[in-house]
Amino acid sequence: MNPDHISLHNKQFEPYLSATQLATAIQELATRLTQDYAGKTPLLVAVLNGSFMFVADLMKGLKFDCEVSFIKVASYQGTSSTGSVKEVLGLSEDIKDRHVIIVEDIVDTGHTMRMLLDTLAAKQPASLEVATLFMKPECLQHELSIRYVGLSIPNDFIVGYGLDYDGLGRNYPDVYKAV
């Protein structure tokens, strides 16, 4: 499945990043995390829905014991952030004194990540880091120190590899950008 263009709802998308490029970026992140978390057993907190493919592939490359949990937050409507974040499904594990890595598909405005970092930091983890597949530095509206970034990208609206446009497009193994 690698069409030249895809159409979702009322938008057209063109190829942007191949599955091979994504796999390379994810493996590089897995290697860095493996070095930094050797001898530790962190909890990966994957942010649904967008990160499900990323966290699955990332975990395959990790060479240490870890656990995974999922949380669901919503801040997007259509192609833009609503600016407010609503926690939908929360974390049930006790993270006090645990090493926690938030696994996110994309950080753009930073609203969701700021809320998650503040919420989880209040639970007193031993450490708290973020691993994101995509980062849009020019969109950030919050001071965030994100240590693990797969790919920095411009402010293009993208779909595929877990990212969607109003529910569609997550199933594509490649990433497409709106034209």
- How many CA within 13 A on the CB side of residue 142? 17
Distance from the Cα of residue 25 to its chain's centroid = 13
How far apart CA 115 and CA 83 sit, in angstroms, is 11
Active site includes 94?
no
Find out whether 59 and 25 touch, Cβ atoms under 8 Å.
Answer: no
Selecting among 108, 118, 156, 164, the annotated active-site residue is 108
Contact 56, 42 (CB under 8 A): no
C-alpha 138/C-alpha 136 separation (Å) is 6
What's the rounded Cα separation, in Å, for the pair 46 and 68? 7
* Residues designated as active site: 108
